[in-house]
Structure 1
Amino acid sequence: MRLAFVASAILAVWVVSVSSEEAAAIETPLPVAEPEQVGMSAKRLKLAPSALRAMVDDGKIAGAVIAVARHGKLVLHEAVGKADREVGKPMTTDTIFRFYSMTKPITSTAVMMLVDEGKLGLDDPVGEYLPALADAKVYVSHRGTSVMTDPATQPITVRDLLRHTSGLTYGFFGDTFVDNQYKQNAILFPFFSLEETVNKLGTLPLLYQPGTRFHYSVSTDVLARLVEVVSGQAFNEFLDERIFTPLGMDDTDFYVVEANQDRLATIYAADESTGQIAVDRDPSRARGFAFIRPKFLSGGGGLFSTSSDYIRFCQMLLNNGELDGIRLLKPETVEAMGTNQLPKSSPYVIIGPGERKGVGFGLGLSVVVDDVPGSPHVPKGELGWGGMASTHFWLSPKHDLAVVVLTQRLPFTFQAEAAVKPIIYRAVVDERKSD
């Protein structure tokens, strides 16, 4: 019995990887296993944190946390570098990060829970629940302050919001007339509620006809308001009661509580020419804002969280909607979320200046549908998304694999994901799923 206890303790320490960069052991978010026990190579897997450490040494990021789970077992959970480089604070596996758009899959899960309960239909017109969006108009042209629009040929549906084919836009990603209208009307302003934001959106034209093309947008913020209306709860209360508490996501919220403020990572901005980072000085992202409960509960980008919390959320999805005996979603619902929902006229995700060839979008998650140029290791069916500060996660149902990689680096870049993803897939030496 004593030998078994000692062996278990050694295993836990190896998997959690509490290195000299961490001050104390952290409770593991999932059961732990040696990589070889779940068909992975420990030798190859150790190259992933080494790749992140090289990015730290090169001045590309201050620090990072990586968590890898296979067959429901945590095989790697390691922090490298600094949470705050200037004061020398080490990155730890319980460091809190700004998740930004990694909020979206959680919001989409909330919506799909309501679909499972029969309270929403995927093809329901959103205007039935949010009257401000019932009579949408689509931008055609403008002259001075006069704006020409066409009526929407079909209503915005719940499905459109989940797959970003609503015709809404974001404001800060583009320079179209409609994007500029979003900026002028302070869409996503932190001191407006979800209700006020949706009502403002209802006064502005759509950029595209609903259902015709993927366009990344505030759709998921509208979904957050939809959850409020259908459930009768404030969005944060719904998430706490229905997702965070059942999954044990104790460090996930729309702000950082006082007791946890020293765990928040500093956010950095990279020089466009050199890639070297410095502390982000944008006043809208000042550290103090993270400690204030916001009025705007952004379903598209408002959450703070940790690698431990998010790997549990990922594992729930990999388990077809269940974790530790608690079911959030029906298996067929998770399958639909991970199935490409984009129309043939716009089959791939478009972010910023270009199309992500081979990558479609399901109901709240990206999904690899074809070969991805330059990424031969990426399997079809891989699901995932990221956040503005270069946070990433992906799931491979084929490999029964979940990965979370977190940094705090602006502007968004795939560098950290690209550095470790091929390493992790090469570490899978037995592709069979567990029984």
Structure 2
Amino acid sequence: MNIPEPVRPEKVGVSSQRLERVQALCRRYVDEEKLAGVTVLVARRGQVILCDAYGQRDREAGQPMTLDTVFRIYSMTKPITTVAALMLLEEGKLLLLDPVAKHLPEFADVKVCVGMDVGGPILVEPERPMTIQDLMRHTSGLSYGWFVDTPVDQMYRDAQMGRREMTLAEAVTQLAKLPLAFHPGRAWRYSYATDVLGRIVEVISGQTLDAFFQERIFDPLGMTETGFYVRPEQVERFAALYNLTGQAVFTPILPENLNGTLHLMEAPAESRFTKPPVFLSGGGGLVSTTGDYLRFCQMLLNRGELDGVRLLGPKTVELMTMNHLPSELIPIGIGEKDYGYGFGLGVKVLVDVAASAEPGSLGIYGWGGAASTVFDIDPQEELITIFMTQFMPSGYYPIRRELQVALYQSILE
């Protein structure tokens, strides 16, 4: 387990007594059986000041949550894929304003769906090409197939874009045959964009995405527990996945689907993550641990460097973690609005503390995963927060907001 020994919080300007409110919050969610188990880590000024585990990683097997538990981090994969692409930017192999079709010619003839008529979708030429920057900031016009506000999402469902039997190359080729939901740059929409970005990393580097990650990011950073599947020796530490519906599928969280009880959604041994995947998802394919993800976060907070190993230059990290959205696309939101937040390259960015209605700092950046994992980095306060659990859907409970309040009220200097 690669987590440094915690130091006394007062050493870095945090009250131990007030920080106990973070611990109490985590315990409450477990004690009330809203979550089976959680880990929480807080680091400031390069020092870990809180690192605790609560509850169970597998209730059915009676396994306690531990700090070396392996989690499905889903969309917390996206910042890692973005870092990979930014490394290629620094090497002069791409530009953010490159049309996606320059690297993936299958996107050369993509159209935009502007409505439906009796003959089917009404398709028009895009106002401008989709760029790599669009992929990184989710303004590409792509979608995920989850939404119900455009006919394009139904086309995604009809094309079964969620299938995992395709390779990344095959999935991106299939995606390029579908129209965009809007003109690139016109809206912010969560999507398969980062999977397309991962394919660009493969094409430019000549490596598969897992090989690039391992050689260029995980090995240099000492992220020994992170990968696209749970290795056999990790399975006993792999967490179960829970929801409230009792169904082992992504089910809409509607009153008629709930019974108020935490249910097993996916047992560790039955998870697809225990086998090497066909589809290497740069948008949501990784598993990791609290300690491994801390190393990735600390590299970003250190402006691209960790323990003498530099992945990115400071100015590139600065570019990644600034807001890239025009004011008319702020705030972002998947369903509910995330007030105060814009979006950078692979991470959301706090641009208005008052609008967020939470204590914080301008420039906080981070992201979360579908199973309620989340990380935040505050450059002003030199602060890293990592919260891990395995509960779907993300955002059902307001724990990220509650965690931020509990943490920031403990900062004294």
TM exceeds 0.5? yes
Alignment equivalent of 1:342, drawn from 325, 328, 346: 325
* 1:131 partnered with 2:105: yes
Alignment equivalent of 2:359, drawn from 371, 374, 377: 377
Describe the SS at the equivalent of 1:310.
helix
**Which is further off, 143-152 or 258-267?**
143-152
Checking the alignment, whether the CA contact within 8 Å between 1:405 and 1:416 is kept in structure 2 is no
Checking the alignment, whether the CA contact within 8 Å between 2:235 and 2:269 is kept in structure 1 is no
Checking the alignment, whether the CA contact within 8 Å between 1:65 and 1:93 is kept in structure 2 is yes
Checking the alignment, whether the CA contact within 8 Å between 2:325 and 2:344 is kept in structure 1 is yes
Q: CA 1:194–1:145 in structure 2 vs 1: closer, same or farther (change >3 Å)?
A: farther
Checking the alignment, whether the CA contact within 8 Å between 2:141 and 2:182 is kept in structure 1 is yes
Q: CA 1:188–1:224 in structure 2 vs 1: closer, same or farther (change >3 Å)?
A: farther
Superposition RMSD in Å: 1.7
Q: Tell me the amino acid that sits aligned with residue 214 of structure 1.
A: W
Deviations 1:80-118 (A, max 9, x none): 000011222100000001101111011111111111111
Q: CA 1:213–1:248 in structure 2 vs 1: closer, same or farther (change >3 Å)?
A: same
Describe the SS at the equivalent of 2:409.
helix
* Mapped partners of 1:177, 1:147: distance in 2: 8
* Mapped partners of 2:197, 2:269: distance in 1: 27
Alignment equivalent of 2:184, drawn from 210, 222, 232: 210
- Which residue of 2 is the match for residue 121 of structure 1? 95
Q: CA 1:300–1:174 in structure 2 vs 1: closer, same or farther (change >3 Å)?
A: farther
Checking the alignment, whether the CA contact within 8 Å between 2:358 and 2:401 is kept in structure 1 is no
* 1:394 partnered with 2:379: no
Deviations 1:197-217 (A, max 9, x none): 111111100000001111111
- Which residue of 2 is the match for residue 11 of structure 1? none
- Which residue of 2 is the match for residue 280 of structure 1? 265
**Which is further off, 106-115 or 173-182?**
173-182
Shift of 1:134: 1.7
* Mapped partners of 1:348, 1:327: distance in 2: 32
* Mapped partners of 1:367, 1:288: distance in 2: 32
* Mapped partners of 2:269, 2:107: distance in 1: 33
Checking the alignment, whether the CA contact within 8 Å between 2:338 and 2:356 is kept in structure 1 is no
* Mapped partners of 1:323, 1:113: distance in 2: 15
Alignment equivalent of 1:161, drawn from 124, 135, 142: 135
* 1:36 partnered with 2:36: no
Deviations 1:354-375 (A, max 9, x none): 3222100001110000135463
* Mapped partners of 1:178, 1:145: distance in 2: 15
Alignment equivalent of 1:292, drawn from 275, 278, 281: 275
* Mapped partners of 1:188, 1:105: distance in 2: 21
Deviations 1:265-298 (A, max 9, x none): 11000255565311116x9x98331211001000
Q: Which runs of 5+ in 2 are unaligned?
A: 246-252
Q: CA 1:212–1:225 in structure 2 vs 1: closer, same or farther (change >3 Å)?
A: same
- Which residue of 1 is the match for residue 65 of structure 2? 91
- Which residue of 2 is the match for residue 246 of structure 1? 220
- Which residue of 2 is the match for residue 107 of structure 1? 81
Checking the alignment, whether the CA contact within 8 Å between 2:10 and 2:16 is kept in structure 1 is yes
Q: Which runs of 5+ in 1 are unaligned?
A: 1-26, 431-435
* Mapped partners of 2:386, 2:2: distance in 1: 14
**Which is further off, 301-310 or 142-151?**
142-151
* 1:226 partnered with 2:200: yes
Q: Tell me the amino acid that sits aligned with residue 41 of structure 2.
A: A
Checking the alignment, whether the CA contact within 8 Å between 1:188 and 1:197 is kept in structure 2 is no
- Which residue of 2 is the match for residue 404 of structure 1? 386
Alignment equivalent of 1:323, drawn from 296, 303, 306: 306
- How is 1:355-366 mapped onto 2 (pairs within 5 angstroms)? 355-366=337-348
- Which residue of 1 is the match for residue 51 of structure 2? 77
* 1:423 partnered with 2:406: yes
Checking the alignment, whether the CA contact within 8 Å between 1:250 and 1:309 is kept in structure 2 is yes
* Mapped partners of 1:29, 1:303: distance in 2: 19
